[in-house]
Amino acid sequence: MALLCSCQSISKSYSTRQLFKDLSLEIFAKERVGLIGPNGSGKTTLLKILSGLETPDSGTISYQRGIKIGFVPQTCTHPNKKPDQVLLEVLEQDQSLSFAEKRRLTETWLSRLGFTGKEGSADLLSGGWKKRLSFAKALILSPDLLLLDEPTNHLDVEGIFFLEKFLAKEQLTYLLVSHDRYFLQNTTKRIVEVNRIYPKGIFAIHGSFTHFLQKKEEFLQGQSKQEESLLSKARREEEWLKQSPKARTTKAQSRIRGAQALFQELSAIKERNQQKRAFIDFAASDRQTKKLIAAKNLSKRIDDKVLFRHLDFTLSPSSRIGLMGPNGSGKTTLLRLLAKELEPDEGTLKRADDLKIVTFDQHRLHLPDQITLREALAPEGEFVFFRGRPIHVAGWCKRFLFSPDLLDMPIGKLSGGEKARIHIAHLMLQNADLLLLDEPTNDLDIPTLESLEESLLDFPGALVLITHDRYMLNRLCNSLLVLGGGETPTFFADFAQWESAQKERTVEKKPKMLTCAENRVLTKRKEISQIEKKISHLEKEVYDLHRLLSDPSIVAHREKLQETCAVISCKEKQIEELYLQWEKAEKGK
């Protein structure tokens, strides 16, 4: 395979914060690479460096001559223009194409990505369709390497299925950043993790995401055993040094230098082996109520659009409902009904007295970028109160994987995942009977996702969850509620049952494949039907012509009369021939 891009010993820092150091990575043609790593490890920055939007502080990057690189960012914005106009603008600089060719390319890529041509202005599209348009903008230029930053963000589950099938079908070379574990499994053949737990800050394995996890576990176990071995050697050297040998010979000096190098290596491997995870623990109230919320015959519409109707369910402690459905189907609206932010058009919502509800909004906290991490985590002073106990902000920040050295950094410099951890920190300070989580997985790294899942599994209250993360839905939810189409919503036991139902529906929609015998019968039926239609049409024409024979104006003119009789005779002959064809077709059935 041809080498498209090579990074050698690149480093990048922002102010005093180092993202990565001496990082080396190569990308070859036809590769499908998944890039993962903790929040703040520099994944998005690395994509921007590869695309030419940023430059590394040190190191070199080499590209194949004439390479074209496409970049689809996390957040996609478009002008107030129709999607086809947006794509035509992308092609403006290409003088080798005629306008007709540009128009044909535009229509082709919009069609491939599911656009119908009836869409309105691009800036008014939903997040998922804006993402699709950004794909089209990148792909219409036929890039040799496509860089995708969190491509599943803002997509519903059906949108993710579409994207998976699209990437599988197209012959693309791409490097994508994602924390969606199923998406990584289904779309990549090589996984690269940027993480300081590795000696060179990077770990790359060819194969699926599942295979990567196995190899990562083997590597970390080996690194842990290496630490034990070094620790044993260090103890021996430490004892030798304590003896303070009188003769400091050259050999002894060499051993001292070796011991110092050993201690440094041990210190480095200890630091790498300290895998840190965010401390997530939602505080539940001690409520013993069996029914927290009872919904009966709920219906809701927005303007003229019916979102759902005739919805019944009960939320009890340990209920964990996952909400699914296309974008715009009413998932967030239902959460707002439960949170008392909206009222149903019909039906009732009975809540337990003094019900404590905590909501995770997909748009996060609206905190100004200029405030510091200290102010964001502890807005009322130097302490927060978690479960009635004061915790200093320096200790509180460590629970969410922030170094105390970063407390005075403006949060505008933090990654999306780090801002999400601030949001989770705020929610943990509130007691809850019911958690309403709207897309909590966006931007979170995989270790934080796992910590979040473990905390939610332990949470004794009720949970209603909107997420496109199929792994999280499978792991957490004991029922799925699927909205869409304004119909009565449907409950499923789990994601696997829903997926099975979708496959059955797809099979039902496909036309039935006929056997040769069935096809012959169907063809004969069509032939007979066509003959019968022709006979009926001709008989009506003959009937109308016979009526003309009684018309005095026709009878009085000999030529017209003869002409009419000739036409009648011709058509009656055609009818006789059709009847013979009909009899022959009937016998051959």
In the sheet with 305-315, reading across from the earlier edge strand, the strands are 305-315, 293-302, 346-351
Q: What pLDDT, on a 0 to 100 scale, did the predictor assign at position 167?
A: 93
Same domain as 78, residue 166: yes
- Which SS3 state, helix, strand or coil, does residue 581 take? helix
CB atoms within 10 A of CB 431: 14
Same domain as 17, residue 103: yes
Q: What pLDDT, on a 0 to 100 scale, did the predictor assign at position 357?
A: 92
Whether 336 is in a domain gets the answer: yes
Under the banding of pLDDT at 50, 70 and 90, the label for residue 512 is: low
SS3 content of the chain, % helix, strand, coil (to 5): 45, 20, 35
Pairwise CA distance, residues 186 & 24, whole Å = 26
Higher-pLDDT residue of 307 and 154 is 307
Q: What pLDDT, on a 0 to 100 scale, did the predictor assign at position 36?
A: 95
Same domain as 56, residue 109: yes
pTM above threshold 0.85: no
Q: Are strands 3-14 and 17-28 parallel, antiparallel or unpaired?
A: antiparallel
Q: Are strands 383-386 and 389-392 parallel, antiparallel or unpaired?
A: antiparallel
Whether 202 is in a domain gets the answer: no
Same domain as 430, residue 320: yes
Residue with tokens 């909107």: 466
Whether 286 is in a domain gets the answer: no
Whether 288 is in a domain gets the answer: no
Whether 285 is in a domain gets the answer: no
Query: Which of 83-92, 380-389, 494-503, 509-518 has the highest average model confidence (pLDDT)?
Result: 83-92
Same domain as 100, residue 159: yes
Q: What pLDDT, on a 0 to 100 scale, did the predictor assign at position 44?
A: 93
Whether 208 is in a domain gets the answer: no
Pairwise CA distance, residues 134 & 118, whole Å = 18
Higher-pLDDT residue of 454 and 520 is 454
**With b meaning 16 or more CB within 10 Å and e meaning fewer, what string describes 499-528?**
eeeeeeeeeeeeeeeeeeeeeeeeeeeebb
pLDDT tens digit string along 423-461? Answer: 888 888 888 899 999 988 878 888 888 888 988 888 888
Tokens standing for 565? 């009789």
pLDDT tens digit string along 77-106? Answer: 899 999 999 999 999 888 888 898 999 999
Range(s) of the domain holding residue 227: 215-273
